[in-house]
A and B are shown apart, each in its own frame.
Chain A
Amino acid sequence: MNFQGKSCKALFTILMADDDSDDRFLMARAFQELDMDVGLRFVRDGEELMHYLLRRGKYAKSGSAPQPGLIFLDLNMPKKGGREVLVEIRTDPKLRELPVVVWTTSNHEEDMAFCLEAGASSFVTKPHSYTELLKAIRVVIIQWLPLAAR
């Protein structure tokens, strides 16, 4: 499922990388419920994420892949994991400034420590209830979205 935000012409694009369709579904639903003017796009793994960001493969045409202003990054994904992606983004001069929120099931200190060290903007353990999920998204948005997009 490739859920698009409510408007393709949205000012702000959020890109979420997660192999779990349930999580993609919940995220899309949460954004819908929050009624935000953002374009939410999904990729299924780290490799696809890098293709998207670097406009490679099926994302070569610029129109199909608007540059995101924020990334939600799962850690455990097939092909290329979140940790690897994080390091690549932070070492790429063009992508270095892009805010990356690690959005993961893990609540382990070592994962947290690794990601912050590697340059993650935030680290969020996926909440155990829908209400908590909405709360967590709100916090992230307040922190990283420009006022106009909220």
Chain B
Amino acid sequence: MERTPVSGIHVWAEKVLTSSLNGLYVYDLQEEVNIFINPQYTKLTGYTLQDINSFTGPEFFALFHPEDHARLLRHFEAINRAADGDILEIEYRFRTADERWIWCLSWDTVVDRSEDGKALRFLGTFLDITHRKEMEEALKESEERFRSVLENSLDAGYRRNLQTDRYDYISPVIEQITGYTPEEMGSMTVDEVVKHIHPDDRHRVEKEIERTVNGGKGVLEYRFRAKDGSYRWLADNLSVLLDKEGHPLYRVGIVRDVTDRKQNEEALLESRTRLLQLTENIKEVFWISSPDWMEILYVNRSYENIWGRSCKSLYEQPRSWLDAVVEEDRERILEEINRKSVGDLSDPQFSEYRISRPDSSLRWIFARAFPVQNEKGEIYRIAGIAEDITERKELEEELHRSLDELEIRVRERTAELEMKNQELQDFAYIASHDLQEPLRKIMTFGDILVSDSGAALNAEDRDFIYRMQTSAARMQELLDSLLHYSRVTTKPSPFKKVDLRDSVDAALSNLEVMIQDKNGLVEVGALPRLEADPVQMSQLFQNIIGNALKFHPEGVSPRVKIYAPGLGKGKGDKKETHQVCVEDNGIGFDETHFDKIFMPFQRLHGKSKYQGVGMGLAICKKIMDRHGGKITAKSEVAKGSTFIITLPGRQEVRT
């Protein structure tokens, strides 16, 4: 090795230089060559002094990383300007002989100057800091990644330096969560931070911090008072990092705002609690099972009250509730359950059955089961309610019994009344019949008396006999009409299809003499066919037309019109009801007496003026009653009357 003399450097110093662990060099700024390097230099770079000095200036400069050139040039300028004793530091990359880049940290100081103070040579010492640099680089990279993740996240991150007990870093998201900027948060003392934690949560937070302080991970959930005074639920996913010696270095954490989740959880809990309060307090059994009824997921206490068996027994044997169902009902219920579990679960199921309790009392159950679907629409549960309806059943039965009894009583009563009514009818019939017998004798013997002895009697006697005869005749008439009246129901003919025109004709033929006597005129329009008693229909018209002929003013010829309004307008025969009017030009009546005219033996006129017993319209009314029809009348005194009869087209078969 060629030695260039170094002025002012002693031999012992040279020994120090050659044995140093740092690389050492002395660079001549005039010659632009290294005039000295120590062995460590060669060890670190792979170059000997000879190697170094074999490079031209530019070649040597090219050993430095191009990115560092500008910095190096500034460094050299600084060295030129440096005062004695100044140590200038620089980091750069250097290409070793085996073509690796190493990071070097150099400290340079001027050791030789010209007369005019210009720097001639400088001494440099350098360290290979490649490893440190790589560490720093990696750290920086990971920190950048960390930050970029944090700053783009909804979660806030922080790093607290446990040695300084301050935050190194808090991501800006913290402001969105707490309302405090990272700076505001960072400037808070420990006490201030604690004051922001909900009092109920402080103890827990402190415990967790304590637990993890010597390394470890934890999740802390606590309420933190935000800047606006509201509490936010925070979840802090934290871990404590230790240095090599095991001293706590950092606490890093990710903080998430979980207020919504917490509120949902609370709401869920609340609704669950409420549901439980409800199901545990209702009288009905409420249960939830798997769709195949093979597992009971829930059943409330009422099961014990109603079934008289423990809930536990049901959980253990999910079909044990069926054991209580009485035998006659069990098969049916089992069938329903199986059918339901096979697939036809779409509809709610209702069933009624009886159960026998351990104390052998019977209860009636009304049960409803309905499928519960998950979000996909699959049936994953069956929920049901079973109600004890024993009392209701008993009441129903009681009611049914009462109704049956009532019906029987009504029927008995009706039969009784019908019998009474029949008796009355029979009585009227028999009475009128049997009363005629003696009456006939009175009249006949009176006759004989008059014809045998009339000449021998004086005028007064003859008048008495005449009055007796008249009264007897009157009574005869009354009995006859009474008989007729009762015969409407006691001796009816069966219903059949009747042309009312025929009925009217029959009536007119019976009234022929009367019509001639009164010089009357009867006009008959088209009349309907309907189901009726033909004899009674003739009777009906005979009575009404007879009245029309009878009750007319003296000197006026009776005019009677019979017609069916609306006939042919509807569906003819198929019409439900038919109306027939009998209109006359007779004396009419005061409509205030309307109720009276249809009652038996009611007369509006004196016997002497108009004959009759007042039974005609009563019979008409009775005939209409039997036919389920109606008879009404409109009238005006001295102007005439119109009788309107309404009859159903068809008759029910009556017993």
Contacts and interface: CB of A to CB of B under 8 A. Distances in A.
A133 B433 contact: no
Contact of B440 (A105, A110, A131): A105
Contact of A129 (B436, B437, B447, B491): B447
B96 interface: no
Interface of A: 20, 22, 26, 29, 105-106, 108, 110, 126-131, 133
B432 to A, nearest CB: 11
Contacts of A105: 433, 436-437, 440
B436 A26 contact: no
Contact of A128 (B433, B443, B448, B451): B443
Given A29-B448, A130-B448, 7 more contacts: A20-B437, A26-B444, A105-B440, A108-B491, A129-B443, A129-B444, A131-B447
Contact of B491 (A29, A110, A133): A110
Interface of B: 433, 436-437, 439-441, 443-445, 447-448, 451, 473, 476, 491
A26 B443 CA distance: 12
Given A110-B491, A128-B476, A133 B436 contact: no
Given A105-B433, A106-B433, A128 B440 contact: yes
Contacts of B444: 26, 127-130, 133
B451 A131 contact: yes
A20 B443 CA distance: 16
Nearest to B535: A109
Contact of A22 (B441, B451, B476): B441
Contacts of B445: 22, 130
Contacts of B436: 105
A102 to B, nearest CB: 16
Most buried by B among A26, A106, A130, A131: A130
Contacts of B441: 22
Contacts of A29: 448
Contact of A130 (B433, B437, B451): B451
Nearest to A23: B441
A128 B444 CA distance: 6
A113 to B, nearest CB: 12
A22 B438 CA distance: 10
Contacts of B433: 105-106
A133 B443 CA distance: 11
28 contacts: A20-B437, A22-B445, A26-B444, A105-B433, A105-B437, A105-B440, A106-B433, A108-B491, A110-B491, A126-B440, A127-B440, A127-B444, A128-B439, A128-B440, A128-B443, A128-B444, A128-B473, A128-B476, A129-B443, A129-B444, A129-B447, A130-B445, A130-B447, A130-B448, A130-B451, A131-B447, A131-B451, A133-B444
Nearest to A131: B447
A117 B508 CA distance: 29
Nearest to A108: B491
B123 to A, nearest CB: 164
Nearest to A133: B444
A132 B439 CA distance: 15
Contacts of A128: 439-440, 443-444, 473, 476
A105 B649 CA distance: 38
